Amino acid sequence: MSPLLKIENLRIELALRSGPAPVIDDLSLELNAGETLSFVGESGCGKSMTALAIMGLLPERVGRIASGRILFDGRDMAQMKDAELRAIRGNEISMIFQEPMTSLNPVYTVGEQIAEVLRRHKGLGPRDAWTRATELMDAVRIPNAKARVGDYPHQMSGGQRQRVMIAIALACSPKILIADEPTTALDVTVQAQIFDLLRDLGRETGTAIILITHDMGAVAEMADRMVVMYAGRKAEEGPVAPVIDHPRHPYTKGLISCVPHLLANLTEERPDLTEVPGIVPSLGSFVVDACLFASRCPLADDKCRSARPPEVAYGDQISACWKADAV
């Protein structure tokens, strides 16, 4: 069976004063129907930019797809006209953005904003769209949905606003749902509820999910496969359990080691948290013919600093590291 989404050798450039700089460089991956794929990596690694490229929402006049293809159901979205993208966006592919308070329109009720999607893409009349909006709010577990459908965003809590965003994203039963840090600024209890909701909805509707998150616990619980991004490149990819249990890239190992663990014995002294030293390189300093993680890697040698590592398969895992066997 062919993949639902296939990205081939994608390169995205941003226009800087110094010239075009690659924010995504030679990225290839696949997403199958009903699968949950998670993107992991520090801020600035290219996770959200990949999602925006899939949605056709790259910054105007600044960002562009320089090369590669984004194949959705066999159609190359990188070559589509705006009208074609609008027909897909919010209909067949939907996205939950990071901050619902800035994504929802403050002067329209949440019911109107859900109903608008149904009117535009499904051709429903005002009454039917409003009824369906109420049903969707109930489906995403907003209490007393019939009464809350007329509320404005500021009248709802952060968790409820995020549920409204999920309802908007699911209104047209999309084939792909992109969740970009869907629990940002929410407390841990609400985070768990949102992740449970996404997992349950994915199972019930068969929607494929792309989850962008920093939360390794959420990745372990929700995702089938994960892609570790670093400086616009794919560092590692594979099924979640093997990647977390036996990472093949020093960056993946570093991210996993940063996750705090509860102590088995409360009398033990808690060790200091591990950290990945240094920071992600700036766009203007990306070096094509080298490993971009070399300056932060404890295993790096001259080869790492002078030659770009190829992507090599280790069973179901793929690693772009010269030292994969030593990790």
Which residue range(s) make up the domain with 266? 5-92+174-326
**Nearest partner of 201 among 226, 171, 246, 180, judged by Cα:** 171
Confidence of residue 265 (pLDDT cuts 50, 70, 90): low
- 40, β-bridge pairs: 228
CATH number at residue 226: 3.40.50.300
In this prediction, residue 154 carries a pLDDT of 94
| pLDDT > 70: percent of the chain | 97
Q: Could you tell me if 220 and 213 are in contact, meaning their C-beta atoms sit under 8 angstroms apart?
A: no
pLDDT in tens, 195-218: 888 888 888 888 999 999 888 888
Would you state the pLDDT for residue 243?
96
**pLDDT-above-90 percentage for the chain:** 69
Instruction: Please indicate, yes or no, if residue 245 is contained in any of the structural domains.
Output: yes
**Pair of tokens at residue 173:** 């039963």
pLDDT, tens only, 33-77: 999 999 999 988 999 999 999 999 998 889 999 999 999 998 999
105 in a domain, yes or no? no
Domain membership flag for residue 136: no
Among the residue ranges 161-175, 230-244, 260-274, the one predicted with the least confidence is 260-274
Q: So what's the pLDDT on residue 264?
A: 61
Total domains, the chain: 1
Any domain includes 59: yes
Q: Is residue 261 over pLDDT 90?
A: no
Q: Tell me, yes or no, whether 27 lies in a domain.
A: yes
Q: Is the pLDDT of residue 24 over 70?
A: yes
* Res. 270: pLDDT tops 70: no
Average pLDDT over residues 143-154: 95
Look at residue 151 and tell me if it is in a domain.
Answer: no
**Range with lowest mean pLDDT among 230-244, 248-262, 270-284:** 270-284
Cα distances (Å, whole numbers) of residue 156 to 106, 161, 181, 197: 11, 6, 19, 18
pLDDT bin (cut points 50, 70, 90) of residue 263 is low
Which amino acid is residue 174, in one-letter code? P
Q: What is the pTM of this model?
A: 0.92
**Residue 19 belongs to some domain of the structure:** yes
In a domain, 192, yes or no: yes
Q: Which residue has the higher pLDDT, 215 or 3?
A: 3
* pLDDT for the residue numbered 267: 64
